[in-house]
Structure 1
Amino acid sequence: MMHVSLAFWSSWDLLLWSIIFAIILGISILFIIIVSLTISQNTAVSKDRQPGSPTHILIVLGSGGHTAEMFYMLEQMKLDPQKYTYRTYLVSSGDGFSARKAKDFETNHIQTNGTHNKNYTILTVPRARRIHQSYLTAPFSTIHCFWACLNVLRGRHPEQRLPEEHNSPYPDLILTNGPATAVCVVVAAKLIRFFLHLSTFSSWLPTWSTAPSVSKLRTIYVESWARVSTLSTSGVLLLPLADRFLVQWPTQAGRRAWWGMKRTQYAGWLVI
């Protein structure tokens, strides 16, 4: 009887210590993530880029109204092909509207010396979540989308062909205004940058590119014009992740994920 009692308490002690260890490990991981995000968001972009060097911009098209807003912004900023020498448009599967808008934009607005510039590509990734899709299956489709976005950022998409002057597969700048695919892209960019940063200090970690650079994969998220006083779901998720978070209403300015993080920046109306 004594042996049974001792075995019982030993099993409970083991379970208790396992729970304590799991809690400590979880808190440690959460602490590392928070500190890493804070450092990443407040790290200045390297100034070692040479003037006139090729720049690769990746533009995430979120379908419907998000795509319309994105092209309003691109038209107003007069996207210069001499500066942004290569452009990648990312669309979700089944979104023919966004793909056509990208082609029309390149044909009608991007010209070099009077001729249409061909230094762009339109890539398709799986949709993160379909309309009316069950919340039970949505995590699986989101992971599928995330993996595809990760491959795009690493230059592993089967239709991806960068010009020779771009010696790194990583885009220099990622511009997005949501929704779900944007979250996958920005999270993937943060993950790659995290490993690139670690690889500069630890030789045993795998390098993700032959020419790693922590100055690439910078992200800009623009909150929808329709969001006057509250952030969208994508905005809430990306507030601690995006390097710059632009809002179009004064009431949205100055928000931040937690103390020490960058605040949202009021940019005025970008789509009117």
Structure 2
Amino acid sequence: MAAPMFVIYLFCFLVILLSVLFFRVLYIIFTLGKVKTRNTKSERAMKLLVVAGSGGHTSELLRLLGSLSGNYKPRVYVLANTDKMSCDKVQEFESKKNCEYSIEIIPRSREVRQSYLTSIASTLYATWYAFPLVFRVKPDLVLVNGPGTCIPVCAASFMLRVLGLRTVIQVYVESICRVEHLSVSGLIMYYFADKLLVQWPQLVTKYPRAQYIGRIV
């Protein structure tokens, strides 16, 4: 009888644990954007984690970083392992700054023109690397603008908050090329980002939780 009772108790424990996690996730989602951030002008710097991507994502992201104050440091860049061009751009950008930074590499979630079906497997593979990276870095703020590689990183950052280990603020800036609809990454982060910023006013009509901030890149 001991073995069946153990299985029953284990099952009940797992049900309770999953229920707690479920309601914890719901609570966090409903309170997104309501977390009070520090006044970075008078308090310590915020460790910033940014995810660069291929194409114009990295260029837009670096232009955005160039407008931020010096309180967002140190900066940790997360790049896909096949994205050599973004690595060069980041190093060139930081060579003109006087700021501590580092570059972390994880597998790419989705290659250009890769099918959505196969990208599920590659995203899960990238997630395997993203979780220990984010748990080690423990950023204060995650800033992303759409590359597929951002999804595993944002998932890990969200889990830090779910587990009560750290409240990581996530800000998603939709690319300026997204005029009528959010990207796939944007549609996902629409429900999990503290702030989702768009650069076209018509997007706010379709996505009320988004915030229009004009052209910033």
TM-score (norm 1): 0.66
Quick one: distance in 2 between partners of 1:124 and 1:195? 25
Partner residue of 2:57?
66
Partner residue of 1:213?
166
Instruction: Map 1:204-243 onto structure 2 (within 5 A).
Output: 212-214=165-167, 217-243=168-194
Match of 1:251 among 183, 186, 202: 202
Q: Which has the larger radius of gyration?
A: 1
Quick one: distance in 1 between partners of 2:47 and 2:135? 13
Q: Are 1:254 and 1:263, in contact at CA under 8 Å, matched by a contact in 2?
A: no
Aligned CA RMSD, in angstroms, stands at: 2.7
Percentage identity across aligned positions? 34
Deviations 1:167-204 (A, max 9, x none): xx4111111001211122112211221011xxxxxxxx
CA offset at residue 36 of structure 1? 2.7
Residues 72 and 170 of structure 1: CA distance in aligned 2, closer, same or farther (over 3 Å): same
Q: Are 2:28 and 2:162, in contact at CA under 8 Å, matched by a contact in 1?
A: no
Quick one: distance in 1 between partners of 2:174 and 2:186? 6
Partner residue of 1:150?
131
Partner residue of 1:80?
69
Task: Say how many residue pairs are matched.
Answer: 200
CA offset at residue 130 of structure 1? 2.3
Partner residue of 1:173?
141
Quick one: distance in 1 between partners of 2:123 and 2:27? 24
Quick one: distance in 2 between partners of 1:57 and 1:138? 27
CA offset at residue 120 of structure 1? 0.6
Match of 1:101 among 71, 78, 89: 89
5+ long unaligned stretches in structure 1: 1-27, 112-116, 156-168, 197-211, 257-261
2:123 maps to a residue whose letter is T
TM-score (norm 2): 0.81
